[in-house]
Amino acid sequence: MRVIRIFLSSPGDCQGERAATHAVAARLNADPLLNSFATLKVVAWDWATGVPLDALASPQVSVNRRLAPPEQCNVVVGIFRCRFGTPMPTSEFRRDDGSAFKSGSEYEFDRAWRARRGGAAAPEILMYRLDSHGTQSCQADAQVDLLNAFFDRPPFKAGDQWTGSISGFSDTADFERQLDGHL
């Protein structure tokens, strides 16, 4: 039986969507038709007992030691609401050009995107962002600015032209419905 690994990446304000991802995978795994040829496995640092966090290492180092990386999974699901996330330690994580990653989610996305840019067929990268109806509850701050800047550059945009795709969702139930259909 084929195992389809789904890497789950999001900042801390997406707990409902993270739980919904696990619920979708469980529901699809219970489907006898799907279960006859594949099993979905969500790769997530915070599920069940979670990844043990080494007291002498950054959280991302602990995650990297214990989970399959994004580029080794079949699908990467990136989810964003109002936050972009926590900056990565620059002593351990830098882009190829030496600049810092502004969040763990950006770092994980970059790993998957580099694999695809390098010619790999996987992972499929599915990006979800709370749409304008839902973002009315977001407070304008540095996190929202970082999130907007992330989606306003390649691979999502080049100038004012969309070059990539993002699925908007209005709430957790809408996200769950969409992800169920997409998977």
Q: Which residues of the chain have pLDDT under 70?
A: 133-136
Task: Provide the pLDDT for residue 140.
Answer: 77
Rounded CA-CA distance 146/83 in Å is 8
- Residue entry with tokens 């763990």: 104
pTM attached to this predicted model: 0.92
The pLDDT value recorded for residue 134 is 58
Residue 109's φ and ψ, nearest 5 degrees, are -60, -45
pLDDT in the model for residue 53 = 86
Range of the domain at 12: 2-182
137-158, pLDDT tens digit by residue? Answer: 788 789 999 999 999 999 999 8
Q: What is the pLDDT of residue 175?
A: 98
Q: How many domains does the chain have?
A: 1
pLDDT at 167: 96
Q: Return the CATH number at 177.
A: 3.40.50
The whole-angstrom separation of Cα 47 and Cα 18 is 9
Express the helix, strand and coil content of the chain in percent, nearest 5 each: 40, 20, 40
Whole-number pLDDT of residue 169: 96
